Amino acid sequence: MGFVFGIQPVQSLFPQFGPRIFITAVAFTCSGIILYAIVQKKIKTVQGEIDILIVALSFVLMLIVGIVFMSSLFHVNTGIERLFLGETMNSIQAVSQEPSEIGTNINFLCIILIGLFDVQGKKRSLCIICSGIIIGISIIALVGYSTAIPALYYDINGISTKMNIPVAVVFILLGGSFLYTSITMKEYKNHMFTSKLI
């Protein structure tokens, strides 16, 4: 929103704003709403509509990450890059020409799995594992920056682009939050939402 409305303090945080940063911001927004929805389930003990929201956002996140990953893998302009205001053709093509961010993609995949596992209501251990993976990948990236080892923050030529420090920090916070909710999540059978699907 800061770039859409020209808010200078927000723009100063990312002076080289481009499609990848916008896509990451949208994906983080979906992740945050998924976390909020899971917490609301615990507080209000309500399923139904909240589960539908979690599933919908998980699939939206899956679509975003999947399209960007396939675009980078096959160097194809999918059209999603044109959703961003004020982008030049060079910056649009950069999304399909640069390697995908492996660490970031894996973390978002884990968030998708956490959302879907939570809806099933009986995958607590898998949610804990996915949360641990998110934290672990992000901590490794920060260690890579502190030790000046590019491979640790997933900057591998031709294979992966780096995970930025702010992204790693946000992932650690998200991973910790998901880990807490996963540890305290109650496992239950005959879940309302999944039983309706069956």
Judged against a pLDDT cut of 60, whether residue 171 lies above it is answered with: yes
| 43-90: pLDDT as tens digits | 776 667 788 889 999 998 888 888 777 766 666 665 555 454 344 444
Instruction: Give the total number of structural domains in the chain.
Output: 1
Distance, in Å, from the CA atom of 118 to the CA atom of 122, rounded to the nearest integer, reads: 7
What's the start-to-end Cα distance of the chain, in Å? Answer: 40
Residue 153 forms part of a structural domain: yes
Confidence of residue 146 (pLDDT cuts 50, 70, 90): very high
Query: SS3 for 61?
Result: helix
Integer-rounded Cα radius of gyration of the chain: 18
The domain of 60 spans 8-197
Give φ, ψ of 147 to 5 degrees: -100, 0
Name the token pair of 129: 């594992």
Distance, in Å, from the CA atom of 156 to the CA atom of 80, rounded to the nearest integer, reads: 25
Helix axes 165-183, 124-147, angle to 10 degrees: 150
- Note the pLDDT of residue 32: 92
Tell the residue number behind the tokens 């859409």, with chain if given. 4
Residue 173 forms part of a structural domain: yes
Residue 96 forms part of a structural domain: yes
Residue 185 forms part of a structural domain: yes
Residue 118 forms part of a structural domain: yes
Distance, in Å, from the CA atom of 167 to the CA atom of 156, rounded to the nearest integer, reads: 17
187 contacts 120 by C-beta, under 8 angstroms: no
Distance, in Å, from the CA atom of 196 to the CA atom of 164, rounded to the nearest integer, reads: 42
Distance, in Å, from the CA atom of 167 to the CA atom of 25, rounded to the nearest integer, reads: 9
Query: SS3 for 156?
Result: strand
Judged against a pLDDT cut of 50, whether residue 194 lies above it is answered with: no
Distance, in Å, from the CA atom of 52 to the CA atom of 43, rounded to the nearest integer, reads: 17
Residue 131 forms part of a structural domain: yes
pTM for the structure as a whole: 0.75
